[in-house]
Structures are given as structure tokens and as C-alpha cells.
Structure 1
Amino acid sequence: MKIRFIGGAGTVTGSKTLVESNGIRILIDCGQFQGIKPLRELNWEPLPILPSSIDFVLLTHGHLDHCGWLPRLVNQGFKGKIYCTNPTKDITKLILLDSAKIQEEDAFRANKDKFSKHEIAEPLYTVEQVEQVLPLFRVIKQNEVVSLDAQISAIYTNAGHILGACSIELSIENKILVFSGDIGRDNDLLMYPPVKPKKGDYIFLESTYGNRLHPDTNTKEELEIYINNTIQKGGTIIIPSFAVERAQTIMYLLWQLREEDKIPNIPYIIDTPMGISVLDIFANNKNWHKLPEQDFVAMCKMFTMITDYKETIETIYNKNSKVIIAASGMITGGRVLSYLEQYISLPETTVIMIGYQAEGTRGRKLLEGAKDIKIRGKYYEVKANIVEIESLSAHADQEGLLNWLSELKDKPTKVFLVHGENQAADELRIKIQEKYAFDTSVPLLGQEIEL
């Protein structure tokens, strides 16, 4: 059996792990690379194997860094089945269509305004190519055995993190391979705690926060302080947010603060069509989250929900104080860019970062103190107050990742640390070896190993 780390090794994006056994090829996740240009350029490179030779794709969840390369895979010849949970199918569809639309718009704008380095800017994939992916989905339930082949089966177990996110236990060649996907937090506001594996010969564990502990702070109090301080200055609060789960968590916290009369009655706006559509997925998948229905309904009524871009423009030019939740979470695209073009240079503005910011993204640059940022070919001076609420991360921290391994009944043959930048993964490797004495390694991008 061979394992090839095609993506998500040494980086938190582009997750793709290929399993090959007795002529069967299984791709665990099919993510898009994000962040620094050398990583983004990998999205344009062909896979080291023919997509037509892959039999199955098993998706852990619907974030772009885990599903965003599917249109390229299908366009280049993949005709197999894509297995995932029902919420993951719905979220993946939303995210891929949104991503394709943004890329088409960005390519059109780059060609129109001639700020692309290429003679003709092209999208990575189109809406039409996304539509070719959708018929290949096969929905499976948690904890049910799915037979992929006479001697290969898979079981999905809840990973927390976002709606539908699962870890995958793959039984193959009399061995059990466990792919964590992205692990959520035990005390997440909306998601149930991740299920810890009981057995596994080989563990493939994410390491996003492998070198960090989430601060033990009061998230609501932080939000309350940032919002009230900004409003006192007559400013606007912009919260770049991942449309799936993070946006809904922020909505819930803001609703709670308004119910407690701790923040003023100003406009609270969610301007992410995809984030608004995810609310429907929450409503249709009540068994996947902890949000009480009556709170959910009341929360939604509090927000102005913008889907039409004309309303975005009207909101931007309304200079009154307001709180805006807009995608994308790493400020790599989406409508948050339009808000930042107008507000990032105003000292009374506050930008609240609430999730992981990959290397090379605008979000990471802002957190690192960038004096200006480039948006659509133009530089904007950063005068806004840039703050971060680390306790809102949807990922388990180092302690959570170590705890996820705590219920294994037998010592695994090996643990591979994926989906993490090198320093984070290596620090987690040391901690695992110290705590459990598990043989642990950090694979390189493109590395192939035999089990």
C-alpha cells in the first residue's frame, strides 16, 4: 500500500492524500491551495497521477482547502464517486459555486482593468465546471460502514469543526488508517465535540494549531469591548468571516450581546450570500449542531441579510456605525474586499480577525502589522485598528489535538502530521512523542511512502 502526500503537507491548504492499494486509488480530500503565490500556483499544476485513474474521493468536510480542487479533478478526467455527509455535500456545492463565481468575476475585472500579469486572466475553474462535479456525490451517514471495494471500507465519525465535518476510518489490507480531517474543539459554541478514535494502525492528524494554545479568554467580552469602543469613535466594525460556521457563531454571539443589552442597537449586517445560504443548511441539519431552534430564529431576525451587490454598495457608502460580517475569512476574495477598500484607511474602523490566517493571505499580513495591503491591483494604507479574537477558532489547539489521540486502545504503528505549517507540525510531533511515545513524523509535500 502506498500513500502520497499531494497537498496539505507543510501547509494548511490544498489537502490531498492519495491511498493506493491493489490497483484501487482513493483520494482523501481534494483541496485548493491558498496563501502565498508559490502555493496558489500549485493549483494550476497537474496531479502527479492521472485524475481518471482515481476511483474514489472521500471528503472530510466542505471547506475550500479540502474540496476546492474538485472541479479541476473532474475537468481533467475523474469519473469516480465522491463520498461525504449530507451537510458536506450542501456546503461543498455552495463553496465551489461561490469560488467559481468569484474567480470568473476577478478574471473579468483583471482583463477589463488590465492589472493581470497574464495576457488573458483565466479563472481556475468556472461555474459550468462546478456543475459537472455535483452528480458524482454520494451521501453517507455517520458511523455506517461504506464498502468501497470487496476488501476496502470506510466509516465516518463526527469531527466537530463545521457542519458535516468527519474523520474517516479506512479499513484496507487488514489495516486501519484514520484521517482526522480538521478537528473541532470540545467546547465549541455550536458544534458537538469531535469523536476520538479508539483504534488505528496509521493516523493522519491535522496540525493547524500544533504549536499554539487558544487563550482562555471571554469571547463575548472581547467582542463587546471592540464593538463599543469603535462605536464611541463613530466607526464601523468589519468582521472577515468564513461563511460556514464562523459567520453563524459570530451571529449567535452578537445576538446574545444584544439580548443582554451590552451592545447598542445599530445595524448588524451579514453580507455573504453563501453565509446566508448556510443558515438554511443549519435549519435542515438540526442533529449536527447545538443551536436551539428558537434562538436560531430570533438571531436571524436581528440581522440585515444582504445578497444583492447593489445593497453592498449602499451599505458601504452609508457612513453610520455598523457591524458587518462578510466573507472571506482570510480576506482572499469576496465582498469583504469591497468594504476594506473604503474602510481600511480610516482610523475609526476596527477589523476583527476570528479564524486561522494562512501564510501569505491578506488576513495574515494584517495581523503581522502590514502598513498597506493590495486589493484588486491597488494599495491601501492600513490605518484601521486590526484585532484578533483567537478563542473563536474552529480548530482544536495543541492540547485538543493531543487529547484527540487519548482514547486509542493500542499504540499505532505511526502517526503522520499533515495540514499544518512546518513549525506547528514539528512542535506537535515532539509533544506526541513525549506524551504517548508514538512514532510520529511530518511528511513533505509530494512525498510517497509504503505502509
Structure 2
Amino acid sequence: MKIHFLGAASTVTGSKFLIETNELRILVDCGMFQGLKALRELNREPLAVLPNTIDFVILTHGHLDHCGWLPKLVSDGFNGKIFCSHPTKEITRLILQDSAKIQEEEAEMANKNKYSKHNPATPLYTLEEAKKVLPMIRVVEPNLDVKLDENCWFKLFYAGHVLGACSLELHVEDKILVFSGDLGQDDDVLMFPPVKPKKADFIFMESTYGNRIHPQEDVLFELESIINNTIKRNGNVIIPSFAVERVQTMMYLIWQLRKQDRIPNIKYIIDTPMGISVLDIFRDNLKWHKLTANDCEEMCDIFTLVSDYQDTIAAIYDENPKVVIAASGMVTGGRVLSYLEKYITEPENTVILVGFQAEGTRGRRLLEGEKEIKFHGKFYPVQANIMSIEGLSAHGDQNDLLNWISELEKPPTKIFLIHGENSALDALRIKIVERYKYECQIPILNQVIEI
């Protein structure tokens, strides 16, 4: 059996792992690369194996770096089944259609304003290509065995992180392969703790925060202070946020602060059509998270939900102080760019970063103190206050990751550390060896390992 590390190896994004046996080829995740230009350019490269030779795809969850390359896989020839949880199917539909629209719009804008070196600039895939993925998706309930052939079956189990996210237990050639997917925090605001694996011969484990411990801060107090201080100086708060789960987490926290009368009664705006659509998925999948149906309704009532872009323009030029939550979370695209073009040059405003910021993204550059940032071909001086609330990450920290492997009944043959930057990967490797004495390996991109 061979494992092809086609993405998220020695980097965080582009999650793709191919399991190859004599009978089957199974792709775990099919994500887009994000961040550094050298990584983004890999999205245009053909897959190292022919897509029409892959039998199945299994998705751990619906984030773009786990599902966003599916339209390209299908347009390049894949014609098999795609398995995932019910919320992941719904979120993947939204994510892929949103991704396609953004790419089409950005290509159109680049051609109109002539700031692309490509003539013409083209989207990675179109909305029509994104829609062709959906009939291939099959919904799988957690903890149920799904047979792929006589000697191969799998089951999904709860991973926290975001709505619908699962880890994968794959039984193939008398071996148990466990893929963590992305793991949530043990004490997440909205999600339940990740379920821990009991048996595994080989583990493929995410390491996004493998070198960090989330601060034990009072997140509500920190958010309260930032909002109040900004509003006192007549400024606006802009929160770039992932449409899936981070938007809903920020809504929940702001709702709690408003219920306790700790922040002023001003406009609180959700400006992400996809984030608004995800609210419906939250309501329809109550067993996947901690909110009740009544919580969902009460929470939504305090927000102005913006879908139409004309309302975005109106909100941007409204001179009253406000708090805006808008996608995307790493400031790579989406409507948050329109707000930042106006507000990032004004010192009374605040930008709050609330999730992981990958290398090469605008969010990472803002986090690291860059004084000038580029949107749509133009540079803008960074005058707004840039704040980060690290405890709000959807990813578990080093302690959570180490805890996730604490109930294994016997040592695995090997743990492959994936989905992390090199410093995080190596720090987690050292901790696992120190605590458990388990053998770890850090694969590199496009490496093929026989097990």
C-alpha cells in the first residue's frame, strides 16, 4: 500500500492524501492551496495521479483547503463517489459555489483593470464546474461502517473544529489508517470535544497549532474591551471571519455581550451571504453543536444580515460606528476587502483577527505588522489597529492535539504529521516522542511512502 502526500505536507493547506492499493485508489480530502503564491500556483498544476484512476474521495470537512479542488478533480476526469457527513455536504455546496463566483469575479476584475500578468486571466474553475460536483456526493452518518469493497471499509467520527467535521478511520489491507482531519479545541464555544481514536496502525495527524498553546484569556472580556474602546473613539470594528463556524462563534459571543449589556446598542452586521446560509445549516443540524434552536433565533435577532452588495456599499459609507463580521477569515478575498479598502487607512478603526492566518495571506501579513497592504491591485497604508484573539481559533492547540491520541489501546506503527508549518510540525513531533514514545514522520509535498 502506498500513501501519496499530494497536499498539506510540510504546509497547512491543500489537503490531499491518496491511498493506493492493488484494488483501490482513495483520496482523503481534495483541498485548494492557499497563502504563498508558490503554493497557490500548485492549484493550476495537474494532479500527480490521473483523476480518472481514483475510485473514491472521502472529505473530512467543508473548508476550502479540504474540499476546494473538487471541481478541478471532476473536470480533469474523476467520476467516482464522494463521501462526507450531512453538514459537510451542505457546507461544501456553499463553499464551492462561493469559491467559483469569487474566482470568476476576480478574473473579470483583473481583465477589466489589467492588473494580471495573464491575458486573459481565467478562474481556476467556473460556477458550472462547481455544480457538477454535487451529484457525486454521498452522505454518511458518523460511526457507521461504509464498505468500499471486500477488504476495505471506513467510518467517520466527530472532530469538533467546524460543523460536520469528522476524523476518518479507514480499514484497508488489514491495517487501520486514522486521519484526524482538522481537530477542534476540547473546550470550544460551539462545538463538542473531538472524539479520540482507540485503535490505529497509522495516524495522519494535523499539526496547525503544534507549536502553540492557546492563551487562557477571557475571550468575552477581550472582545468587550476591543469593541468598547473602538466605539469610544467613534471607530468601526471589522472582523474578517471564516463563513463556516467562525462567523457563528463571533455572533454567539457578541450576542452574549449584548445580553449582559456589556457592549453598546449599535449596528452589528453580518456581511457574508455564505455565512448567513450556514446559519440555516446550524438550525438543521442541532445534534452537531451546542446551540438550541431558540439560541439560534435569539442570536440572529441582534444582527443586521447583509446579502445584497448594494447594502454592503451602504454599510461601508454609513458614518455611524458599527461592528462588521465579513468573510474571508484570512483576508484572501470576499466582502471584507471592500470594508478594509475604506477602513484600514483610518486610525480610529480596529481589525480583529480571530482564526489561523496561513503564510502568504493578507491576514498573516497584518498579524505580523505589515504597514502597507494590497487590495485589487492598489496599496493601502495600514493605520487601523490590528488585534488578534488567538483563543478563538477553531483548531485545537498543542495540548488538545496531544490529548487526542491519549486513549490509543496500543502504540501505532507510525504517526505522520501533516497540515502544519515546519516549526509547528517539528514541535509537535518532539512532544509526541517525549510523552508517548511514538514514532513520528514529517512527510514532504508529493512524497510517496509505502506502508
Mapped partners of 1:40, 1:253: distance in 2: 33
Stretches of 4+ aligned residues off by more than 4 angstroms: none
- Give the structure 1 partner of residue 446 of structure 2: 446
- Give the structure 2 partner of residue 72 of structure 1: 72
Structure 2: 5+ residue stretches without partners: none
Mapped partners of 1:286, 1:294: distance in 2: 11
- For 1:382, give the aligned amino acid: V
- Give the structure 2 partner of residue 173 of structure 1: 173
3-state SS of 2:225 partner: helix
- Give the structure 1 partner of residue 380 of structure 2: 380
- Give the structure 1 partner of residue 404 of structure 2: 404
Deviation, structure 1 residue 447:
0.4
- Give the structure 2 partner of residue 329 of structure 1: 329
Mapped partners of 2:232, 2:301: distance in 1: 25
Match runs of 1:44-63 below 5 Å:
44-63=44-63
Summarize deviations over 1:86-138 as a string: whole Å, max 9, x none: 00000000000001000100000110111111111000111000011011000
Deviation, structure 1 residue 240:
0.1
- Give the structure 2 partner of residue 109 of structure 1: 109
Mapped partners of 2:439, 2:110: distance in 1: 49
Mapped partners of 1:111, 1:394: distance in 2: 36
- Give the structure 2 partner of residue 141 of structure 1: 141
Deviation, structure 1 residue 446:
0.6
- Give the structure 2 partner of residue 364 of structure 1: 364
Aligned Cα root-mean-square deviation (Å):
0.5
3-state SS of 1:263 partner: coil
Mapped partners of 1:431, 1:441: distance in 2: 13
Mapped partners of 1:297, 1:19: distance in 2: 43
1:254 equivalent in alignment to 2:270: no
Q: How many residues align?
A: 451
- For 1:381, give the aligned amino acid: P
Match runs of 1:123-134 below 5 Å:
123-134=123-134
- Give the structure 2 partner of residue 241 of structure 1: 241
Mapped partners of 1:43, 1:57: distance in 2: 18
Deviation, structure 1 residue 158:
0.2
Mapped partners of 1:21, 1:74: distance in 2: 22
- For 1:423, give the aligned amino acid: S
Deviation, structure 1 residue 293:
2.1
- Give the structure 2 partner of residue 12 of structure 1: 12
- Give the structure 2 partner of residue 428 of structure 1: 428
Deviation, structure 1 residue 195:
0.3
Deviates more, 1:55-64 or 1:15-24: 15-24
- For 2:398, give the aligned amino acid: Q
Deviation, structure 1 residue 23:
2.9
Mapped partners of 1:292, 1:147: distance in 2: 34
Mapped partners of 2:422, 2:294: distance in 1: 44
- Give the structure 2 partner of residue 311 of structure 1: 311
- Length-normalised TM-score, structure 2: 1.00
Mapped partners of 2:356, 2:116: distance in 1: 28
- Give the structure 1 partner of residue 279 of structure 2: 279
- For 1:284, give the aligned amino acid: D
Deviation, structure 1 residue 61:
0.2
Mapped partners of 1:218, 1:85: distance in 2: 33
- For 1:250, give the aligned amino acid: M
Mapped partners of 2:265, 2:424: distance in 1: 41
- Give the structure 1 partner of residue 268 of structure 2: 268
3-state SS of 1:87 partner: helix
- Give the structure 1 partner of residue 207 of structure 2: 207
Mapped partners of 2:363, 2:189: distance in 1: 23
- For 1:414, give the aligned amino acid: K
- Give the structure 2 partner of residue 22 of structure 1: 22
Deviation, structure 1 residue 296:
1.4
Deviation, structure 1 residue 292:
2.2
Deviation, structure 1 residue 256:
0.6
1:158 equivalent in alignment to 2:158: yes
- Give the structure 2 partner of residue 351 of structure 1: 351
- Give the structure 2 partner of residue 221 of structure 1: 221
Deviation, structure 1 residue 22:
1.5
Deviation, structure 1 residue 294:
1.7
Mapped partners of 1:17, 1:426: distance in 2: 20
1:196 equivalent in alignment to 2:209: no
Deviation, structure 1 residue 348:
0.4
- For 1:50, give the aligned amino acid: L
3-state SS of 2:132 partner: helix
